[in-house]
Amino acid sequence: MNEITVWLPFVGNLRLDEPPENLEFYVMKSFHDFTEGTAKVYEFEDKLHYLDNLRKSLHAGSTDEHVRRLVCKRVEHRMEEEGDFPDREDFLCIEFMEHCFDEGFMPFHDTYYFGSKSGNEECLRSILRIIRTVVNYSEEEYEKLLEEE
């Protein structure tokens, strides 16, 4: 199984298949530092921005690799369906650009395959713990957690 990590701002990379027991503390600290200096009225925007960064860190990799993968899939599909190599216009069309754009915003469940059901479950559980912590974050809960640590 590949080692799957997620990048948390101001904390760094954490393994999803073997998360620390106090994952919620790391997430709260990360989110607190991420939003430090931001007005309270922007809390919901900050939460969405943070979760979008989480999604992006799960999609990490070379943009070049992703584009090559999409082009190769397009060529394979065209060869199977029509038996000939696609024209240049097939890659410059709005439909293909729309597909590439959508791929850039892939949902969490399309991000990875870990190779084993147990690895998948632990990683997915970790992602859900992170999301739950961010969604339910409050400054009061963070202060309470700091006292416990």
DSSP string, 72-140: HHHHHHHHHHHSSPPPTHHHHSHHHHHHHHHHHT--GGGS---SSHHHHHHHHHHHHHHHHHHHT--HH
- Least confident range of 2-16, 23-37, 38-52: 2-16
Question: In the structure, what pLDDT confidence band is assigned to residue 1 with cuts at 50, 70 and 90?
Answer: very low
Q: How far apart are CA 66 and CA 59, in angstroms?
A: 10
53, two tokens: 């960064």
Q: Indicate the pTM of the whole model.
A: 0.68
What's the pLDDT score for residue 28? 95
| Beta-bridge partner residues of 12 | 8
